[in-house]
Amino acid sequence: MSSPSEPSSLEHLTTRPFSFYPPILNLEHNEFLFRKASWSEVQVVHCKSGKEIWIPRRFLGKVSEVADPVVIVGLNKELEYAGGAVWPYQRRVMEMPLAVGGGPPVAERRPSEPSGAAPPVPIPSRSGAETRIFRLIGIALAAAILLALGVFRWFRTGEVQQHVELTAKDQSYLELTSHDGYAGVVAKLGPPVSDRWRSDSGEIQYRALAYPQRKYTVVLMGSTRDGAQYIGTMDEKWKPLHSVDLRSGGTTASLLRALGQF
C-alpha cells in the first residue's frame, strides 16, 4: 500500500477508475473517473451512468492505493446525490407510531392534587373611582407606547434614507459576474485607482481593485494571478456589497466576510 496523498493527485486518474469511501448515496455503482478540477471543486464522471458530478474540495480527504487495482478516495463527510449535485447526508429522525387505539400519554396526577375542581373564589367588584383610575393608567401607557414607536420609526426612516443615499449612487458592480477577470472589470468600471495583491499560502491569489470615487473595492480570486476572477465587491468599511453564486450551491458572501482587508 502506498502512502496517502493530497486530493490534488486525482488529476492523474483520468484513465484509472477509483471509488469513494464512504460511498456516495443514491448512486448504484461506486466507480468514477477524474474529469477536471477548479480551485474550489473537482469534476468526476460516474462510470455506470456517465453523469458528470462536481464535488467541493472541502469534502475530499486522502487518496490511497490498496492491493486491488482500484484507488480509494476518502471523503470527509457522508454525501448523497440529489438533484444533479452532491450534498452532506443528514440522517432523518422518524417518530414511532402510536399503538392501535392508543392516545397521547396522560400526565399522572400528583397525590397532593384534589380530584375535583376547586370551587370558584368570589372577587369583590371595584368601585367606579378605581375603574376610572385603571382606565386612565391604561390610556397613558398606550399613548407612551405609541409615542415611542413613532420616534423609533422616525429614526429608522432617516437611517434607511441615509443608507440608500450612500449606496445607491453607484451600483455598476451589479453588472459584474464570476466570468469577469481584470479585463472584464476594467471594461465595465474603468481602470482602478489602486491594484493590490494578497497570496493565501501561495495557493490562492486575491486581487483588490480600488475605486474610491465609487466608494467600493472589487475583489478577484484565483489559483494564479492571470486567472483571477470576480468574487464580489466590498464597501468603504470592507463589508460585502455584492457576491456571486457558486456552482456547488451558496454564494461567495461568507468568503468575503472572512477575507481580511488588504
User: How far, in Å, CA of 146 to CA of 108, rounded?
Assistant: 46
Give which of 41, 43, 33, 85 is closest to 59, Cα–Cα.
41
Q: What is the pLDDT of residues 157-169, one digit of tens each?
A: 666 555 545 454 6
Higher-pLDDT residue of 109 and 138 is 138
* pLDDT value of position 90: 84
**Residue 261, helix vs strand vs coil:** coil
Task: Render pLDDT for 79-91 as a digit per residue (tens, 0 to 9).
Answer: 999 988 999 988 7
Residue 114 or 221, more confident? 221
Q: Is the pLDDT of residue 194 over 70?
A: yes
What mean pLDDT comes out for the span 234-253? 91
User: Which of 199-203, 207-211, 258-262 shows the highest mean pLDDT?
Assistant: 207-211
Residue 253 to residue 127: CA distance in whole angstroms: 63
Question: Would you kindly state where each structural domain of the chain is located, as residue ranges?
Answer: 7-88, 172-258
For range 44-49, the mean pLDDT: 92
pLDDT at 92: 72
What mean pLDDT, rounded, does the chain reach? 81
Which run of H or E residues covers position 139? helix 128-167
At 8-39, the pLDDT tens digits run 567 777 778 889 889 999 998 999 999 999 99
Out of 116-125, 185-194, 232-241, which region has the weakest mean confidence (pLDDT)?
116-125
Q: Is 29 helix (H, G, I), strand (E, B) or coil?
A: coil
